Structure 1
Amino acid sequence: MEENLYGARVDNNSDSPISEFYAGKNLFVTGGTGFLGKVLIEKILRSCPGLGTVYVLTRKKRCQDIHERIHDLLSSKLFDKLRKDQPNFEEKIQPIEGDIILPEFGLSNEDRQLLINDVHIVFHSAATIKFDEHLRTAVELNVLPVRKIIKLCQQFKSLLALVHVSTAYCNCDRPYIEETIYEPHIAPQKLIDALEWMTDDMVESVTPKLLGSHPNTYTFTKQLAEAIYKMEGAGLPVAIIRPSIVGAAWKEPIQGWIDNFNGASGLCIASGKGLLRSMKGDFKAVADLVPVDIPTNIMIVVGWYTAVYKPKESLVYNCTSGAVNPLTWGDFQVGIMDYFKKTPLEGSFRRPYTTFTSNEMLHDYWVFVSHMIPAYLADFGYRLMGKKPRMVRTYNKLHRSMEILSFFTTHSWEWTSGNHDLLRHVLSDADKKTFYFDPRQIHWPTYLEKFCFGAKHYVLNEDMNALPAARAHIKKLRNIRYMFNTCVIVVLWRVLIARSQIAQNVWNLILSLVFKFVRYFKITSTIQKH
């Protein structure tokens, strides 16, 4: 054992210092039933087999208690690999009943004392990820829980690290974002105090002014949450992870695994279904996508680094890909279109075709022509068949979601990555392979194929055996489109153009050529038969 520059004792001879460190350590995880939280629990259990107990803050649902929820979670396909390696891994998971919106998380005295005595590492990832959440709700779910987790951790007897999951876009009002906690334009406590006496209508009316340059309540409240750590978390071993757009798994535990419609996943599915034809965005803007296993691995590494190296101040880690391995929205669009043309989704509304445009008028035109007109025609058909119309409602919902995303598809940012790079330099060779997080190695065309497959297979639960039927459906949609376009051209020609003698002569010439073409093939086929 040797001491590093920070006075921590490290076993340089160990193949995996990280796995060795986590042996016997107990964790407390909030947001463990969310997308990132699930992958974190699976990876740390599988890569650190000596891990102690993982306490997962879990709230009851109407039809399920916390133990049933955790059992259903651990029974999912996501944990198949871990189940094979460690058949009894569920024994290490202990749900703790609570809710981040309740005072002191709603913990019982017994559970609180258990956490105070046992927990070494805390991963706080619970939050609302709805961009258009009401400001009061966003503060209750993204800001106030930070204060609660700080107060709880201040009581822990053996706390080694508190790792908070923020977002790379919490400072999206800046084009250049460093790994530091920026001062918000509104003091968090002033906002919290104001929300106590303001009605919901009052909050809604002043929200645009409160947001300032922030596009939504999500990025705004995430910035406030970081400020709370800076003001109230002094003395705690805090570290902040800022992932950008979190997408499907790259390598582990299952390539392409994803379980939600959020962000890029919803965009992918809407395009594959043929619903989304035009998206407001810059074709050349960087789509800063990071596979979910990258922030997961960084979280585990940061927990170890914070505990072992004991940095003198809270470090922030930008977890992004655009600076070192940029993927543009144009690349994203081409990648998903190429996949869904070969491997279409079942029951598509139209053939997959999506394009990004930064021209507002052109986008509005295509929304009207390619979205709303087909939606109203489809609903008219549903009514004729005695079915409930749904397409206009679907498109209205889609437009709201895409409008929220448009801020991120029309802008690009530059993030520094000094702390992120530092982590790679202190890892052993074995840990670099196990806890990989270098986005330079991602081959985007291959990753996008896996992403689309994951959306099809894991989110929509579509079986690849049904692919021939899906392709036949797309072919049928193509033929319908050709027939419709032909009819439109004929009607326009006859009504608008064919009033002139020249147009009539051209029309007669085209018809005669078509008849000759058909007659030629009939004669040719007759000769071949004889």
Structure 2
Amino acid sequence: MSENMEDQFDTMADQFETIEVEDQFDTSKTDIQQFFEGQTLFITGGTGFLGKLLIEKLLRCCYSLKKIYVLVRNKKGKTQKERFEEIFEAECFDPLKKKYPNFLEKVDLVYGDCLLPDVGLSPESIEMIQKEVTTIFHIAATVRFDQHLKSAAFINVRSVRDLVRIAKDMPQLKAFLHCSTAFSFCPRSTILEEFYRPPLQSEKLLSLVDSLDDSTITEITPILLKDWPNSYVFTKAIAEGVVRTEGIGLPIAMVRPAIVTVSAREPVPGWIDNMYGVTGVVAGAAMGALRTMPAEPDNNAEFVPVDFVINNIIAAVWEVGKRGRVAEIDDDIPIYNYVLSPFYRVTWKQFFDLCYVSGMNYPTVKAIWYFCFSLRPNPIHHQLALFFLHTLPAHFTDFLMVCVGKKPVAVKSYQKVKKFLDVISYFARRNWAFGVVNVKKLMKRMSPEDREMFNFDLNTLDMNEIVSKGILGGRQYLVKDPLDTLPQARKKYFRLKIAHYALLTGILLVVVKIVFMMFRYFF
């Protein structure tokens, strides 16, 4: 046999071997991976915390999808293209970059803005989406609790309505996922996986905010909110009413996650990119800036790791798409309450006790004072703590800043902290009984391979591990303090500890002195 023929046979053998390996890989794909194969996805909220992790997970584990279109708006002087490129600079994309260096070929930018009608899409973009997209993930929302009601209504309510209406003209649509919140109907003590009557019909709210000026809306907002504590959960509840009525005729589902926090396992353990919710509390306490929080220590802390939330969202889309049928009545629209307490009960006190232990092990060199944080269920005790531990030190700090010719910022910062604590106290002072029947059923319907790859079983969590990784993650990704500063940070923290207890001793001596002098004067 000639060398040329041998080379040809070797080449053919290599080709057959490659085909065999590819076929073997294809057959090894899980049910969820097969579902997303060849699909074109449209994601809103891709620049946010949840959105980034969703994009990363879909590309890393379902790379055979065809395309992901990401809706991006202008913000803070940055163009949509700049914000789109910034998405992939986050550390959470590092594992994906190693696994699939050319992953950006599968992601495209779509210009839009959820504050605008039709989520800011151009007619050409709408036509493209209706023609090409097979699955929609509507993750975008304003999560600011103090957001002006007009903006909250447009972003959280109108965007849902308009996107659902766009989806009704999508012949290839397999699934539509709306991300809500477990606290959308927080005035209720029991929240099952079902629809409830919204506080206001969506069209009435949108007509109202369209017809009134901003100052008038601000004045009547407390009246409109009634039992709802802020514009975020209020508009999220109304948005669920939109899903209930407008979602008929679509393969649609809704996930209600609780307070979303750091990643537990993937793609980077402990990854976080924002100071919202409990993350801000932990970071503030670890820095020594936050010293009190109004909360019932024995109430449930409803935190869920962001990577588990993403897996639940992906699995919910798979189940809706697998059914292959549209919702004919609202009972056909599955709702998933993704909360911690029915699976793994952790109280606020237990959580912060774990944070204290990890914080002592991994202090940050950027700390401004020693840890002296406490949960205070009594409102009077909390207000006193605010005055003596926040307000007075802030005024003293600003006085020193002015004396050295610097701009005073402490009082203004602590005013924002107080506003934040007032908002979060509503959720830290209450308990809810959540139904999670659909979440449990979804886990059972998944194959063992999918349950491992897209794990959202909260029973598998190790809270000690999560808190430890979360403290390290916050240190690295939020405070921007690398681990190599740990020896220096521990020395500084020891000095802050000495200063803290020296100050307490000094204050105690002054108080004792004053009491002694008063005793001598009167007696």
TM-score by length of 2: 0.90
In 1: Cα distance, 2:191 partner to 2:76 partner:
42
In 2: Cα distance, 1:492 partner to 1:303 partner:
62
Give the counterpart letter for 1:417 in structure 2: V
In 2: Cα distance, 1:162 partner to 1:492 partner:
63
Displacement of 1:62 after TM fit? 6.2
- Structure 1 segment 389-400 matched on structure 2, within 5 A: 389-400=408-419
Instruction: Name the residue aligned to 1:333.
Output: 352
- Structure 1 segment 411-490 matched on structure 2, within 5 A: 411-490=430-509
Q: Secondary structure at the match of 2:222?
A: helix
- Partners of 1:337 and 1:354 within 8 A in 2: no
Could you list the per-position Cα deviations for residues 299-335 of structure 1 after superposition, in whole angstroms to 9, with x for gaps in the alignment? 1111111011246511101111111101111011111
Give the counterpart letter for 2:384 in structure 1: Y
Between 93-102 and 382-391, the greater mean CA deviation after superposition: 382-391
In 1: Cα distance, 2:453 partner to 2:339 partner:
19
Aligned-pair identity (%) = 33
In 2: Cα distance, 1:27 partner to 1:239 partner:
16
Give the counterpart letter for 1:126 in structure 2: A
Select the residue among 361, 382, 392 that pairs with 1:373: 392
Displacement of 1:372 after TM fit? 1.6
Instruction: Name the residue aligned to 2:194.
Output: 180
Instruction: Name the residue aligned to 1:281.
Output: 295
Instruction: Name the residue aligned to 1:324.
Output: 343
Structure number with greater Rg is 1
CA spacing shift, 1:231–1:400, aligned 2, 3 Å? same
In 2: Cα distance, 1:362 partner to 1:261 partner:
25
In 1: Cα distance, 2:357 partner to 2:344 partner:
21
Q: Secondary structure at the match of 2:242?
A: helix
In 1: Cα distance, 2:130 partner to 2:108 partner:
15
Instruction: Name the residue aligned to 2:425.
Output: 406
Select the residue among 339, 348, 361 that pairs with 2:367: 348
Could you list the per-position Cα deviations for residues 475-515 of structure 1 after superposition, in whole angstroms to 9, with x for gaps in the alignment? 222222333334334444445416889xxxxxxxxxxxxxx
- Partners of 2:116 and 2:154 within 8 A in 1: no
Could you list the per-position Cα deviations for residues 372-392 of structure 1 after superposition, in whole angstroms to 9, with x for gaps in the alignment? 222222222222222222221
In 2: Cα distance, 1:65 partner to 1:201 partner:
30
- Partners of 2:46 and 2:71 within 8 A in 1: yes
Residue 73, structure 1, aligned to residue 87, structure 2: yes
- Partners of 2:199 and 2:234 within 8 A in 1: no
Select the residue among 108, 133, 146 that pairs with 2:122: 108
Instruction: Name the residue aligned to 1:150.
Output: 164
Select the residue among 131, 140, 148 that pairs with 1:134: 148
Displacement of 1:105 after TM fit? 2.4
CA spacing shift, 1:384–1:90, aligned 2, 3 Å? same
Displacement of 1:106 after TM fit? 2.6
In 1: Cα distance, 2:390 partner to 2:69 partner:
47
Displacement of 1:278 after TM fit? 1.2
Residue 217, structure 1, aligned to residue 231, structure 2: yes
Residue 84, structure 1, aligned to residue 125, structure 2: no
Instruction: Name the residue aligned to 1:168.
Output: 182
Could you list the per-position Cα deviations for residues 73-121 of structure 1 after superposition, in whole angstroms to 9, with x for gaps in the alignment? 2233211111111111100001111111222223233322221111110
Q: Secondary structure at the match of 2:146?
A: coil
- Partners of 1:239 and 1:316 within 8 A in 2: yes
CA spacing shift, 1:215–1:62, aligned 2, 3 Å? closer
* RMSD, aligned CA: 1.8
Select the residue among 217, 231, 234 that pairs with 2:248: 234
CA spacing shift, 1:483–1:62, aligned 2, 3 Å? closer
In 2: Cα distance, 1:499 partner to 1:165 partner:
61
Instruction: Name the residue aligned to 1:308.
Output: 322
- Partners of 1:333 and 1:354 within 8 A in 2: no
Q: Secondary structure at the match of 1:246?
A: strand
In 1: Cα distance, 2:463 partner to 2:148 partner:
35
Aligned residues: 490
Instruction: Name the residue aligned to 2:271.
Output: 257
Give the counterpart letter for 2:104 in structure 1: E
Instruction: Name the residue aligned to 2:8.
Output: none
Displacement of 1:351 after TM fit? 0.6
Instruction: Name the residue aligned to 1:194.
Output: 208
Could you list the per-position Cα deviations for residues 6-42 of structure 1 after superposition, in whole angstroms to 9, with x for gaps in the alignment? xxxxxxx865011011110110000011100000000
Displacement of 1:212 after TM fit? 1.7
Instruction: Name the residue aligned to 2:15.
Output: none
In 1: Cα distance, 2:146 partner to 2:513 partner:
49
Q: Secondary structure at the match of 1:325?
A: coil
Could you list the per-position Cα deviations for residues 227-268 of structure 1 after superposition, in whole angstroms to 9, with x for gaps in the alignment? 011112210111000000000001110000000000111011
In 2: Cα distance, 1:421 partner to 1:437 partner:
10
In 2: Cα distance, 1:75 partner to 1:482 partner:
42
CA spacing shift, 1:470–1:139, aligned 2, 3 Å? same
Q: Secondary structure at the match of 1:488?
A: helix
Displacement of 1:135 after TM fit? 1.0
Instruction: Name the residue aligned to 1:511.
Output: none
Q: Secondary structure at the match of 1:240?
A: strand
Could you list the per-position Cα deviations for residues 139-174 of structure 1 after superposition, in whole angstroms to 9, with x for gaps in the alignment? 011000011101110111200100000000001111
TM-score by length of 1: 0.89
Between 246-255 and 68-77, the greater mean CA deviation after superposition: 68-77
In 2: Cα distance, 1:473 partner to 1:380 partner:
24
Q: Secondary structure at the match of 1:143?
A: helix
Between 374-383 and 428-437, the greater mean CA deviation after superposition: 374-383
CA spacing shift, 1:488–1:69, aligned 2, 3 Å? closer
- Partners of 1:15 and 1:428 within 8 A in 2: no
Give the counterpart letter for 2:249 in structure 1: G
Between 473-482 and 281-290, the greater mean CA deviation after superposition: 473-482
Give the counterpart letter for 2:398 in structure 1: D
Structure 1 unmatched ranges of 5 or more: 1-12, 502-530
- Structure 1 segment 48-67 matched on structure 2, within 5 A: 48-61=62-75, 63-67=77-81
CA spacing shift, 1:389–1:228, aligned 2, 3 Å? same
CA spacing shift, 1:495–1:150, aligned 2, 3 Å? closer
Between 478-487 and 97-106, the greater mean CA deviation after superposition: 478-487
Instruction: Name the residue aligned to 2:39.
Output: 25
CA spacing shift, 1:120–1:389, aligned 2, 3 Å? same
CA spacing shift, 1:58–1:485, aligned 2, 3 Å? closer
Instruction: Name the residue aligned to 2:48.
Output: 34
In 2: Cα distance, 1:87 partner to 1:500 partner:
76
Instruction: Name the residue aligned to 2:133.
Output: 119
In 2: Cα distance, 1:199 partner to 1:67 partner:
32
